[in-house]
Amino acid sequence: MLPSSIIDSFDSKEVLSSVSIIVLSTEIKAPIEVCFDLSRSIDFHLKSAEQTEEKAIDGVTSGLIGPHETVTFQAKHFGFVFELSGQITAYDRPYHFRDSMIRGPFKRLVHDHIFEHKDGITSMIDRFDFESPLGALGDLLDRMLMREHLSKFLRKRNQYLKEIAETNPSAFL
């Protein structure tokens, strides 16, 4: 069961009115623990992000990342190489964890991973809250480019996670 503090922090009006919040839900026929652990697997993340030539270059660089741990990824987006460091800032296995950017190209990036299990199905919910720097120019960039780019990236990752969780989770766990 999800803690009410997590549920209460999601304001549906905010989700509908903010271009910088992406909410996705994926239904997976796998145990909640498998989905949770795949979501925090560095090795899984790297495989799911091959199209961006992603590498883990500092902090936890393989295996499962846990509470308060950090990782720095290097990846290519739009032809440019970026580095992003994140930390696990909330952790309640197997229901929720949050990774928050501590250094990188965004003004703000907070990704909540939420899991619910019922009747053999795990619902994996991503709440991805981001904001580009540069004020009004950043807002325009978010509306015209970043929201769709990041949504596509997350949908691809989620589809791959569903496939692995349902068929071969031991490949990464």
Instruction: Summarize the confidence of residues 133-140 as an average pLDDT.
Output: 93
Q: Looking at the chain, which runs of residues are DSSP E strands?
A: 21-28, 55-59, 70-77, 80-92, 96-103, 108-118, 121-131
What is the model's pTM?
0.89
Both structure tokens of 125: 């919910």
Other Cβ atoms within 10 Å of 117 Cβ, number: 19
CA distance readout (Å), 91 to 57, 65, 142? 23, 11, 28
CB 140 within 8 A of CB 8: no
The pLDDT of 133-148, averaged and rounded, is 93
Asked if pLDDT for residue 88 goes beyond 50, the answer is yes
pLDDT tens, position by position, 10-47: 544 444 446 689 999 999 999 999 999 999 999 999 99
Give the pLDDT confidence of 42-84 residue by residue, as tens digits: 999 999 999 999 999 999 999 999 999 999 999 999 999 999 9
- Residue 173's pLDDT is 87
Average pLDDT on 136-160 reads 95
Quick check: helix, strand or coil at residue 91? strand
pLDDT score at 6: 53
Ranges of each domain in the chain: 16-171
Fold of 16-171: Alpha-D-Glucose-1,6-Bisphosphate; Chain A, domain 4 (3.30.530)
Query: What pLDDT, on the 0 to 100 scale, is given for residue 18?
Result: 61
What's the average model confidence in pLDDT over 142-170? 96
- Report DSSP state, residue 50: G
Mean pLDDT of all residues belonging to the chain? 91
